[in-house]
Amino acid sequence: MHNEENVINTIQLINSDNLGPITFYKLLQRYGSVKNAIENISEVKKINLLSRTKAEDIYENAIKKNMHVITYDDKNYPQILLNIPDAPPVLYAIGNYNILNQIPAVAIVGARNASINGRKTASRIAFDLTEQNVMVISGMARGIDAAAHKGALYAKQQSGATIAVLGTGADIPYPNENKSLYCQIAEQGCIISEFSPETLPQANNFPRRNRIVATISAGTLVVEATNKSGSLITAEIAADHNRKIFAIPGAPLEARSCGPNNLIKNGAFLIENAQDIIKCLDIPSEYKNIVLKRPKQQELKLENNNVVKQTQNLNKTKIIDYLNFDGVYVDEIIRASGMSEAEIALELLELEMSGKIERQSGNKVALIKGK
């Protein structure tokens, strides 16, 4: 990470009035460094430089909140973002910022008022992509975004990583209903924002968030979206920056299918599963020709000359029967059921997408009362 003075200089300049990322880089090109730009800012009309004290306060507040402050010239900065003209000069990250440069990466976005099937589709694709080391990125909104993050978190024996890009400060869980999800992502993955700590939700900040979601990824998958959905704006931004566009087809009379169906009409890749995405991406050869499927059923085995099934098939107990309202460790479910970790993860994912259970800290899951 760069020295503190350089970071504070960058914070000071980008947070000045009437100055955005594009102007920031023009000043950088003109004066050769952020420090020189600050020293000569009086030559530029209409720009009101943020006070040094306020810039220092922002930096100190971020550090106090255990954020990593990553500037555009830091080796940890997502290199793919540097290809866009309005790349955020500063990113505030909570969690494992080392995954910001993991490739390949795919954004999954869609309707906030998503259907149960839409959420299940998003979560299952995110699960399978994460299992195959494809990073899943989204905006942590309700609906499809949240489902995608949850699917990724359930992968790799419930330790999968995912990246959430916020339209608030990185320290502000939004919407509040996703606070638990926010904590899980911070623990297993990474939360990033270009906005200073304690920045509250503002409508004009979310399109800026969407451009990061669209361009930090090799491609964007749209799962359910009306024709006026912000997800289509994200897809448009991705297409403008030569990222691939994927879409899940839907029934013609369903409003939430209009967006993906129109994207497909206009050249987006028709996607039904994670394997379709992997085939479309220009990614390392070791990821290609991977067959993604549900884990096989437990093998039959011979005991005392009788063909019997593993414990799960003998008692036919449903996973939900092992759960309670207080919370049960996933390891206990695995031991009691006789099912594999992958099978358990998929079953729990289905239950969460159906709104019947919730994840708790410490790798526990619990029934939701009233469900």
Token pair listed for 83: 């290809």
> Chain centroid to CA 56: how far?
29
1 has pLDDT over 50 = no
DSSP symbols for 8-51:
HHHHHHHTSBT--HHHHHHHHHHHSSHHHHHHTGGGSTT-BPPP
Residue 307: its pLDDT value, please? 32
Encoding tokens for residue 24? 């920031």
For residues 307 and 121, the model is more confident at 121
**pLDDT on residue 31:** 96
Which pLDDT belongs to residue 283?
58
Structure-model confidence comparison of residues 162 and 354, the more confident one: 162
Of 38-42, 157-161, 171-175, 284-288, the one with minimum mean pLDDT is: 284-288
Q: Cα(215)–Cα(218) distance, rounded to whole angstroms?
A: 7
More confident residue, 267 or 299: 267
User: In this predicted structure, what is the pLDDT of residue 197?
Assistant: 98
Q: What is the model's pLDDT at position 296?
A: 35
Task: Report the pLDDT value the prediction gives residue 308, as an integer from 0 to 100.
Answer: 33
Is residue 290 within 8 A of residue 275, CB to CB? The reply is: yes
With 0-12 CB in 10 A as exposed, 13-18 as middle and 19+ as buried, what is 200?
exposed
What digits encode the pLDDT tens for the residues 196-233? Answer: 999 999 999 999 999 999 999 999 999 999 998 999 99
Strand 105-110 versus strand 219-223 pairing type = parallel
pLDDT band at 371; cut points 50, 70, 90:
low
Residue 295 reports pLDDT greater than 60:
no
Please determine, for residue 189, whether its predicted confidence score (pLDDT) is greater than 90.
yes
User: Given pLDDT bands bounded at 50, 70 and 90, which one contains residue 317?
Assistant: low
pLDDT value of residue 129: 97
Domains of the chain, CATH where assigned:
4-97 (no CATH), 102-287 (3.40.50.450), 301-367 (1.10.10.10)
207 contacts 233 by C-beta, under 8 angstroms? yes
| Per-chain mean pLDDT for the chain | 88
Whether 288 has a pLDDT exceeding 50, the answer reads: no
Task: Give the other-Cβ count within 10 Å of 90's Cβ.
Answer: 25
pLDDT at 338 over 60: yes
Is pLDDT at 370 greater than 90 in this prediction?
no
For residues 305-325, average pLDDT: 55
Instruction: Name the band, by pLDDT with cuts 50, 70 and 90, for residue 45.
Output: confident
Indicate whether 301 pLDDT > 50.
Answer: no
Q: Looking at residues 163-168, what average pLDDT do you find?
A: 98
C-alpha–C-alpha distance, residues 279 and 261, integer Å: 20
CA count, 13 A, side-chain hemisphere, 50: 20
> What is the pLDDT at residue 269?
97
Residue 255 has pLDDT above 90, yes or no: yes
| pLDDT more than 90, % of the chain | 72
Higher pLDDT, 71 or 351: 71
Question: Hey, how many other C-beta atoms are within 10 angstroms of the C-beta on 242?
Answer: 9
* pLDDT for the residue 278: 95
Mean pLDDT of 308-331: 65
- Is residue 157 within 8 A of residue 133, CB to CB? The reply is no
Give one DSSP letter per residue of 263-290, joined into a string: HHHTTPEE-SSHHHHHHHS---GGGTTP
What does pTM read for this prediction?
A: 0.83
Amino acid 271: pLDDT: 96
The whole-angstrom separation of Cα 111 and Cα 224 is 5
Residue 52 has pLDDT above 80, yes or no: yes
